[in-house]
A = this chain, B = another copy of it.
Amino acid sequence: MELKAPPSLRPDVLRIIPLGGIGEIGRNMTVFEINSQILVLDCGVLFPEETQPGVDLILPDLNYLEDKLDRVVGVVLTHGHEDHIGGVPYLLGMRKDLPILGSKLTLALAEAKLKEHRITPFTHTVKEGQVERLGPFELEFVAVNHSIPDSLAVIIRSSAGTVLATGDFKMDQLPLDGRLTDLRAFAKIGQEGLDLFMVDSTNADVPGFTPLERDIGPVIESVISKTPGKVVVASFSSHVHRVQQVLDAAHANRRRVVFVGRSMVRNMGIASELGYLRVPEGLIVDLNDIDELPDDRIVLMSTGSQGEPMAVLSRIANQDHRIVIGEGDTVLLASSLIPGNENAVYRVIDGLVRLGANVVHKGNAKVHVSGHAAAGELLYCYNILKPKNVFPIHGESRHLHANAKLAIQTGVPSEQVLVVQDGAVIDLAAGVAKVVGQVKCDMLYVDGKTVGKITDEDLKDRRILAAEGFISIFAVIDPKTGLVVEGPEIRARAYAEEDHVFDDILPEIQKALAAAAREGIRDTYTMQQVIRRTIGGWVAKAHRRKPMIIPIVVHSSRPA
């Protein structure tokens, strides 16, 4: 099934390859290809977990596109979340003039990000109902409801069939902005005949329905009205509707609001400028002005709800921020708890509690609803659309399988439900979607200025270094005699290194090297192996440890 994925040259075959977002939640990107023309849908980042230390971001496997950039007709962004737009600067770094399509808010957020990378993109704003043609692709945009405004699903029509890609979505029936997921459009496309449904799986394993965003409002209102001191609300910096509810509650309680945290300030600036956030006159004040306000007139709207160590909330908890929290103040974490962040978040909560604050969070109050459709909502979609083929995306294996099960329960034949890995090559032709191969699809790591230089091998080294530390042994040998002329010199780090810990083994290394020289060994590689064996065996026995051992033997530049 390994396949180099040659261009799909035929007008009756639409090729679809996910290059991220399958088997993980994040770094979403899918490429569509027909008649050798390519459409890119989303280009997001994945945030590293603890097994990927030091990595800043993980990109979809952009390498796939490297020799195909001239064939890309455009990039469509469904919404403005990092896991869908975060990789765009790296994609545009490969070809700056790629046309980017998206809704007004999505493009504004993407442009702000690109500005930081000093890239001015070619953009084209679209909205729901609009139809665009990009090469062989006809795109129709459909309003969907999500945890960021102005999200779009996209219908991709081609000579080989029709695809509906939901992007991220849910079906809040009383959304704050009145913008529903457009089930009428879903019904129309269902009527017309949908060949492939690419559908968000994030909450497919959650039974029932995602609660209404507006149900959180009264909780926020109650927290703010009952707090005698300051209120700090932390949430996602792109969650405009959550912030709206905080602003409304603050306003109703005659409090002023301060945005704190770089991304919060930036995003809410964009959202209010474009009209997505309604800000009552005089409500917002600057952080520098809060000293003049009594505590019970202040709401701080901040970042850091996931315990990010450098974000505002962590710094407040560590008393490393000009905002000082204490008895009488309340901190509200109006957010989910993304798996893997628990320890970090609880550390922040503990810090705030120690300072005397009352902390309200998902664990003790109803202060968050998800942005993704739960099982009950997905069933509605399947029944309205009646798709011929289903491709669950955006989820880990358990979510994809749960979503597949829902599709099958509504009558989609199980062989027409494609649960695949990243890099799967799916061909859609004559109403049938089939996996026809697999292309290489690796994690592409960003670390500092490097993209794709850090490999999985490096990460393995990092994990060993983290768990065990290292011991480095340097020696200079005479290339003629093989005898040590300088060293051996031992250094260790992160290895319980005490002054005399290596006193026992140094003479052993000297002996082993001398013996090797007597046996006629002169090359540095073998001498390094001699050192590695000698110290490795000793360390395992004496300390029951397995540090990284790095012997460095060089030939002397000035033989005796």
Residues of B contacting A454 in the complex (Cβ-Cβ under 8 angstroms) = 496
| A543 adjacent to chain B (CB < 8 Å) | yes
Whether B448 lies near A491 (C-beta < 8 A) is: no
Complex: A343 Cα to B353 Cα, angstroms: 26
CB-based contact B342/A554 at 8 Å: no
Q: Is the pair A486, B350 in contact by a Cβ cutoff of 8 Å?
A: no
**Complexed CA–CA distance, A468 and B493 (Å):** 14
- A459 vs B468: C-alpha distance in the bound complex, in angstroms? 10
Partner of A398, one of B54, B359, B495, B557: B359
Q: How many angstroms from the CA of A35 to the CA of B543 in the assembled complex? A: 40
Looking across the interface, which residue of chain B has its beta carbon closest to that of A53?
Answer: B466
Q: How far is the CA of A216 from the CA of B164 in the complex (A)?
A: 42
Q: Which of B49, B401, B474 contacts A552 (CB 8 A)?
A: B474
- Alpha-carbon gap, A467 to B205, bound state (A): 34
| A458 in complex: contacting residue of B354, B455, B486, B495, CB < 8 Å | B495
Residues of the B chain whose Cβ atoms lie less than 8 Å from the Cβ of A508: none
Scan residues 472-517 of chain A and give those whose CB is less than 8 A from a CB of chain B: 472, 474, 476, 485-487, 489, 491, 493-498
Answer whether residue A122 sits at the interface, using C-beta atoms and an 8 A cutoff: no
Instruction: Find chain B residues with CB under 8 A from A351 CB.
Output: 397
Quote the shortest CB–CB distance from A401 to chain B (angstroms): 5
CA distance A560 to B397 in the complex (A): 66
Beta-carbon contact of A491 and B343 below 8 Å: no
Q: Shortest Cβ distance from A336 into chain B, in angstroms?
A: 12
A53 touches B467 (CB 8 A): yes
Q: How far is the CA of A342 from the CA of B491 in the complex (A)?
A: 37
Is A339 interfacial (CB-CB < 8 Å)? yes
CA distance A207 to B485 in the complex (A): 71
Contact yes or no, A469 B465, CB < 8 A: yes
Residues of B within 8 A of A453 (CB): 496, 498
- Specify the chain B residue showing the minimal Cβ separation from A55: B467
A26 CB to nearest B CB, Å? 13
Min CB gap A423→B, angstroms: 16
Given contacts A449-B544, A495-B458, contact A466 B469 (CB under 8 A): no
Query: Does A556 count as interface, using CB distance less than 8 angstroms?
Result: yes
Q: Which residues of B contact A343 (CB under 8 A)?
A: 49-51, 339-340
Contacts of A50 in B (CB 8 A): 50, 343
28 sampled A-B residue pairs with Cβ under 8 A: A50-B50, A51-B343, A54-B469, A207-B364, A339-B343, A350-B397, A351-B397, A353-B397, A353-B401, A447-B545, A448-B543, A449-B542, A449-B545, A450-B545, A458-B493, A462-B465, A465-B465, A465-B466, A465-B469, A470-B470, A472-B472, A474-B474, A476-B476, A485-B558, A486-B486, A487-B554, A489-B552, A493-B548
